[in-house]
Chain A
């Protein structure tokens, strides 16, 4: 489904990603962990072309997307959920969710709202349809952001630390939504340090350090017995 070949991303002199190759199968759930600045965000932002790789190639569904005019292929296939939610504050929850289906997928208002309510039900927030994002808690905002991402019905969903901006008591409600989502055939790449979540849903855990993938494996094997020294050090720090 997603294939990165020798992807390098530089910001000026700084190399955020160096020669990363990665293959993610259709329907696979991949969790990415690693210390701050290791390039996790940059990696998933290169997949949906918010960042342009400096070198290397990205394929989605067999199609090369790191070329001119390929953005539409990415947008047809990838949705993204951000650490800071990024809901549109001037719109109601319902408008947030229906905007892209209506403007980009040319659905009628009725169709778009039908889809929106379906996903509002999924995240358990149907009664917030007419609220403004600013009236919602962080956890609720992130669940709406997930509903917004789902409403365009793409095959891939990327999460960049979806729970790390949340108060601790709100983390679980968002993780619950993501766990239930993982039961579906959608391809998920999740940057997160939530080990419980990773063990529960991930087919594979990827550990990044210094712009490179330094270890990957099944979650149980990885968390219990990481082979890489830096991965071991990192895990010892975050597991309390």
Chain B
């Protein structure tokens, strides 16, 4: 008689025999992660810069974007695009919803990282550039942003890790991603939830753990190299702690 244990070996065998399904779902998760991360980085850079603009209206626009997406659940964005937009005759694929929704959501957090990064650059750098005759734009390009990027790389990587985990929101709109596959595979067959969740969890882990570890190592490196102080780095990480 088959063991009914939730982690009985036969359940794992069943899972591995369907590995293609999970492989495909893994690719969906990676693709959505990549696309939404690209969008989030672009939005984060744009709104991060706008939040430091000398024009009030741009600062307000950036503030509204950040506050809006930091203060609603990601699921609302996904459901809105999946269930509400079709009534406006806008049909988006779940892949598009993932890329757009998660990109918009994490763009708000990345915008705050970019803003905090720029603010951590000493005022003297702006003044030196200004006194040499650099415009706002070239000051940013040549002097401020290259320094900012070094400093914000660790918190950005942490954001990427959160983003990858958050792609699991797609499971709620049958997005074909890892999380969705794990749950629906178990539900529609042998109820082998435990193996499905353990294996997909491991897949998330093998992507996220190296990123998080690399971020920590790089952070240590730039602190030791004197490029940034630990306090500054902590302060930048803290702006996304509301997540």
Contacts and interface: CB of A to CB of B under 8 A. Distances in A.
Nearest to A99: B142
Given A76-B133, A86-B122, 5 more contacts: A50-B130, A75-B133, A88-B128, A90-B146, A90-B147
B131 A90 contact: no
Given A88-B143, A89-B147, A90-B150, A134 B226 contact: yes
B93 interface: no
Interface stretch (A77-85, A108-116, A176-184, A200-208): A77-85
Would you call the interface of chain B mostly helix, strand, loop, or mixed? helix
A236 interface: no
B227 interface: yes
Nearest to A88: B143
Contacts of A103: 134, 138, 142
Contact of A86 (B128, B150, B227): B128
B131 A78 contact: yes
A104 interface: yes
Contacts of A79: 131-132
Contacts of A84: 122, 124
B127 interface: yes
Given A75-B132, A104-B133, A152-B132, A89 B124 contact: no
Interface in A147-179: 148, 152
User: How extensive is the interface on chain A, given as a class?
Assistant: 20 to 34
B83 interface: no
A232 B124 CA distance: 33
Contact of B127 (A72, A86, A104, A148): A86
A192 interface: no
Interface of A: 48, 50, 71-72, 75-76, 78-80, 82, 84-90, 99-100, 103-104, 134, 148, 152
Interface residues of B, number: 19
Contacts of B143: 88
A148 B128 CA distance: 10
B125 interface: yes
Interface in B134-154: 134, 138, 142-143, 146-147, 150
Nearest to B128: A86
A165 to B, nearest CB: 11
For the complex of A and B, list the 6 residue pairs with the smallest distance between their C-beta atoms, beginning with the closest: A75-B133, A86-B128, A86-B124, A80-B131, A100-B132, A90-B146
A80 B134 CA distance: 13
Contacts of A89: 147, 227
A167 B47 CA distance: 42
A84 B146 CA distance: 20
Interface string B183-227: 000000000000000000000000000000000000000000111
A100 B134 contact: yes
A125 to B, nearest CB: 18
B224 to A, nearest CB: 12
Contacts of B127: 50, 82, 86
